[in-house]
């Protein structure tokens, strides 16, 4: 199974400007992410950026870099531009690894790529993990996902789904946090950028809902390793630096 990893890395971040270049134990964050991706089975790892500073740093540590436009509305749009620039075939599997997850386990990169490869009915694949805390279920910044018995997404939401009537987690609740790693077939990236923003997507501010709105199946699986959250603040940066 051959797949390509693309790591989007934007300089402009409202909460942590210049995030990809922030130092983590002597290395820029984007290098830490790239190193993890290179430990996966990917045939190619590409950093996608709209900023010359990130390009210079990434090329200095040996990464392949693709420059993209600055005006993309979503990360999926940016991914499609990269796939187009690289002339990737429509059946090529591409994995989007977030540029702010320096501890992403290589095995989950392989997992999501393999899941898409073996599930021919799916255009997209992603991962999830169980929610065990009531506060996490209620937190709109933690995206929840509900999937069918066969492993395909029914819906993604910032709301607490499935709705627990007494508003507390209980055994058998089956609540799951969506982990923001995706594998795509390039053909579906090409379709995505042609579709208008879906009503559910706009309401929830979740771009994956555009696929569901257009009847594209998204395969969902339990991650085989714990996936630490991304870095959004200086506090996150300090905490994760202690792990290196």
pLDDT of residue 177: 94
Counted residue by residue, the chain has a size of 244
Q: Give the DSSP letter string of 55-91.
A: HHHHHHTT-EEEE--S--SSHHHHHHHHHHHTT--TT
E strand or H helix at 125, and its extent?
strand 124-130
Q: How many CB atoms lie within 10 A of CB 74?
A: 18
pLDDT of residue 83: 96
Do 65 and 47 contact (CB within 8 A), yes or no?
Answer: yes
Q: Which residues pair with 87 in a beta bridge?
A: none
pLDDT of residue 210: 96
pLDDT of residue 170: 54
Q: How far apart are CA 54 and CA 106, in angstroms?
A: 23
pLDDT of residue 169: 58
- Interior angle at CA 76, CA 114 and CA 91, nearest 5: 45
- Interior angle at CA 104, CA 236 and CA 126, nearest 5: 110
pLDDT of residue 167: 57
Q: What is the mean pLDDT of each run of 10 residues along the chain (244 residues)?
A: 91 78 91 96 95 94 93 85 95 95 95 96 96 87 93 95 69 82 97 95 95 97 91 82 81
Structural domains of the chain in order of their starting residue, each with its CATH number: 3-241 (3.90.550.10)
Q: Would you state the structure tokens that stand for residue 103, as one six-digit string?
A: 């501890």
Q: How far apart are CA 7 and CA 10, in angstroms?
A: 10
pLDDT of residue 171: 56
Q: How far apart are CA 91 and CA 233, in angstroms?
A: 37
Radius of gyration of the chain (CA): 17
pLDDT of residue 118: 96
- Nearest residue to 97 via CA among 89, 113, 107, 109: 109
């Amino acid at each position: 199974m051959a797949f390509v990893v693309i790591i989007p890395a934007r300089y402009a971040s409202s909460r942590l400007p210049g995030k990809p270049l922030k130092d983590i134990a002597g290395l820029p964050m984007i290098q830490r992410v790239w190193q993890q991706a290179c430990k996966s089975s990917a045939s190619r790892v590409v950093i996608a950026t709209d900023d010359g500073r990130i390009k210079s740093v990434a090329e200095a540590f040996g990464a392949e870099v693709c420059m993209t436009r600055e005006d993309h509305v979503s990360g999926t749009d940016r991914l499609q531009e990269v796939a187009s620039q690289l002339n990737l075939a429509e059946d090529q599997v591409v994995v989007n690894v977030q540029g702010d997850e320096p501890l992403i386990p290589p095995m989950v990169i392989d997992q999501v790529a393999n899941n898409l490869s073996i599930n021919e009915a799916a255009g997209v694949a992603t991962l999830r993990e169980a929610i065990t805390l009531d506060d996490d279920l209620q937190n709109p910044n933690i995206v929840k996902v509900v999937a069918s018995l066969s492993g395909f997404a029914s819906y993604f939401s910032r709301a607490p789904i499935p709705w627990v009537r007494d508003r507390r987690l209980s055994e058998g609740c089956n609540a799951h946090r969506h982990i923001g790693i995706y594998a795509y077939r390039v053909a579906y990236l090409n379709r995505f950028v042609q579709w208008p923003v879906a009503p559910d997507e706009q309401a929830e501010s979740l771009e994956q809902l555009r696929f569901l709105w257009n009847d594209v199946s998204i395969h969902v699986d339990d991650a085989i390793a714990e996936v630490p959250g991304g870095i959004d603040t200086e506090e996150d940066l300090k905490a994760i630096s202690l792990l290196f």
